[in-house]
Amino acid sequence: MRDREATSQLVDVRQPWEFARASLPGAVLIPLGELPARLRELDPARRVILYCHHGARSHHALRFLLEAGFTQVAHLAGGIAAYSEMDPTVPQY
């Protein structure tokens, strides 16, 4: 995951209050409900890595991006909650 962050677009699809509580370095906040309207902010030529709290919202976002024609899309299974277990600098909530 950390190796991919440098060359990928890391997108947090949670709500602003969640992003303020805990986020991953370099992530851009695009709440799931805003994703259709903000699709042009993402570069389809670059890999997009999505995450949320536990993985459900990012999975929905992944399906939406695939349907929109993005081909290099992944999501963080288990979300930031799972990531924070590996990286204690990311707070759990």
- Over residues 54-84, the pLDDT tens digits come to 999 999 999 999 999 999 999 999 999 999 9
20 is in which domain, residue-wise? 2-86
Structural domain count of the chain: 1
Residue 43 is assigned to a structural domain of this protein: yes
CA distances from 59 to 12, 28, 84 (A): 12, 17, 18
State pLDDT tens for residues 29-43. 999 999 999 999 999
Q: Which of 30, 50, 52, 80 is catalytic?
A: 52
The one-letter code for the residue type at 17 is W
Q: What is d(CA 69, CA 74) in angstroms, rounded to the nearest whole number?
A: 14
Q: Which CATH number does the domain housing residue 72 bear?
A: 3.40.250.10
The answer to whether residues 74 and 48 touch, using CB atoms and an 8 Å cutoff, is: yes
Q: For 69, phi and psi rounded to 5 degrees?
A: 105, 0
Is residue 10 among the annotated active site residues?
A: no
Is pTM beyond 0.75? Reply is: yes
Residue 93 is assigned to a structural domain of this protein: no
The answer to whether residues 22 and 51 touch, using CB atoms and an 8 Å cutoff, is: no
